[in-house]
Structure 1
């Protein structure tokens, strides 16, 4: 069983780095409504489209999702 996407994001949080995925992960950490147990791309994407004001571009989510999927292949 793979870990939820949220757990992956928490591994890339960093208060000092300023790249897009790290900033996204830091913002998700502060988002109480984020679907923390989800492993479903569509569910998370829909949530971010409606509530992810902190996400400048959905391409950041897509890139983070690709890395999440790649990490779960290992």
Structure 2
């Protein structure tokens, strides 16, 4: 079974890192409303655009989602 985007994102967490995806992951961890079971780009993008003040640029999400898709294709 394919991981949700949130499950993937949690593997990118690193509070010590200055990497934008790691910072996004750390912030998403504390977002209690994050759609934790979602796998699709559009609903995630819509949620983040409307609710994620902690995400300075949607480009960071795009980068993370691309990594998510690449990892899923390797399985």
Report the count of equivalent residues. 74
CA RMSD of aligned residues (A): 0.5
1:6-59 CA-to-partner distances (Å, cap 9, x unmatched) read: 000100101111110000000000000000000010000000000010000000
Q: Which aligned runs of 4 or more in structure 1 are off by greater than 3 angstroms? A: none
Partners of 1:59 and 1:15 lie apart in 2 by 20
TM-score using structure 2 length: 0.96
Structure 1 residues without counterparts, runs of 5 or longer: none
Stretches of structure 2 that go unaligned for 5 or more consecutive residues are none
